Structure 1
């Protein structure tokens, strides 16, 4: 058997194995229990409810614009025009709405860690340019008390899946939360920034791996950017060349911008 022909039986065996698995455990929609053609897909009804973030969006923070004319000549949203974020660029796959919550909340709080890889695929498409330029993937950290309660860091799971999909290196423990912070959901943008000030630091011994690198920070939801800014500030202080952000979903409520 030639070298070129050798992989064919392996591919055939793989397809047979996948077919048997699909027969025993038929693939279901990521957001509901309807059957789909292949794992990691949406059914037709749920797909219509997903709001993917596409242009036009702010070239800096990735917030989607309702109309392209709102971008102006510089492509920036009003918030970034007034105060630039610490990170260089941010992108996200989905707008954070009811459908995105149906995906993220079970993944984040319901032990649906199996969603990390299919969700990361959507992130990889949305952040293809950022992944191409990234030297190192770094997840947003959880405080140890929250990590103990949740048992996993959803950002680290996404970062790991993205690293495997893209071939980029990941440093899962590059950052740490030096103090526990409250949930930020009900806080204003200013209160979020004040809460996160000084809450993130580079873990001792990791600065050498960060210095001179372009870092891609990975998170599940990007809201005002307070957490991303705190992480970027710590990474830049440790010598990072630049910090970009890639999130699964992006809050686009104008009250945050």
Structure 2
């Protein structure tokens, strides 16, 4: 069986391949990459590398020949994802790939997040394609919140605009393990999984976890969406990313990041990695 992974040198893609390698032979895995120079480690591990560029449709069909299962990891260019994903889905049809798994977004069909539209459109294309599929609807990553830990320790303040909204984000590693489990089994045809952590937290909780791990007092300061936008822009973040971060916090207040689904822990066979442990690890690093 040949399992192909798009975005194989990306943060999630690398972890999925790592998880697969613990459970299957390297010759069963195909890494689909835009830049093979970034795939040196995969080559050394015996993984087959194939050139695959969403913006070069002619590269897609040949790369998918002989593939039994395809994991489409959502592209990272927000605003261009739908046409890129559509090109991959059409190539999979032409190459007669029988099955596709797609990393979507928690409750993509009803989510108020601005990001959800492209995921909804992609899911619709997959369902219309006739391919057997699994939707892995990933909630936010813990790592999205860890980026601000060092700054919070330095200043004593964790800023955000999420109010008391609860967040059920999970570790990237947990989502990767779930994807590998699904790809290595035939029990998930035409299933949709809502993937979120075993426990949830507020940003005030996160501030207290940072305090405990660092030994320094960190308080959560809730600010308006406008002020948060200005602060992130002043910190040099690109406008598109600022919009995504602020929208996530605003929608967190309305419950967009909270879930009691146990799909993720059921797939990986354990409770998800706690953000407290990741905060500690990030400060030790």
Report the TM-score when normalising by structure 2: 0.28
